[in-house]
């Protein structure tokens, strides 16, 4: 199972703070598409990535986001860029 935590304004946008994916593996791209109800060819994907910080198991990602494969046990945090300090 893969857990996704949505924080701050992202939680309000998605309507929930915690999502689970009962899969052994799934791409991060697919997770974002499912959460934001995007189709595979949607151009909003890169816009969404510009507005959030993504952390996998507590480590923020800076590149390779679109190609990342999540594995069972991973925890993803979606953090708004303007999240305070």
Give the confidence band of 84 by pLDDT, cuts at 50, 70, 90.
low
Q: What is the pTM of this model?
A: 0.85
Q: How far apart are CA 23 and CA 43, in angstroms?
A: 26
For residue 41, what pLDDT is reported? 63
The answer to whether the beta carbons of residues 7 and 78 sit under 8 Å apart is: yes
All domains of the chain in start order, with CATH? 2-80 (3.10.20.30)
Q: CB within 8 A of 21, min separation 6: which ones?
A: 1, 2, 4, 31, 34, 70
7-33 tens-digit pLDDT: 999 999 899 999 999 999 999 988 988
Q: Which residue has the tokens 């309000």?
A: 12
């Amino acid at each position: 199972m893969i857990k996704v935590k949505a924080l701050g304004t992202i939680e309000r946008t998605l309507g929930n703070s915690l999502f689970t994916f009962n899969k052994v593996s799934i791409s991060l791209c697919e997770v974002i598409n499912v959460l934001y109800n995007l189709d595979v060819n949607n151009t909003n994907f890169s816009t969404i990535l510009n507005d959030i910080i993504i952390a996998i198991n507590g480590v923020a990602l800076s590149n390779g986001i679109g190609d990342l494969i999540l594995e069972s046990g991973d925890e993803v945090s979606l953090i708004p860029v303007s999240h305070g300090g």
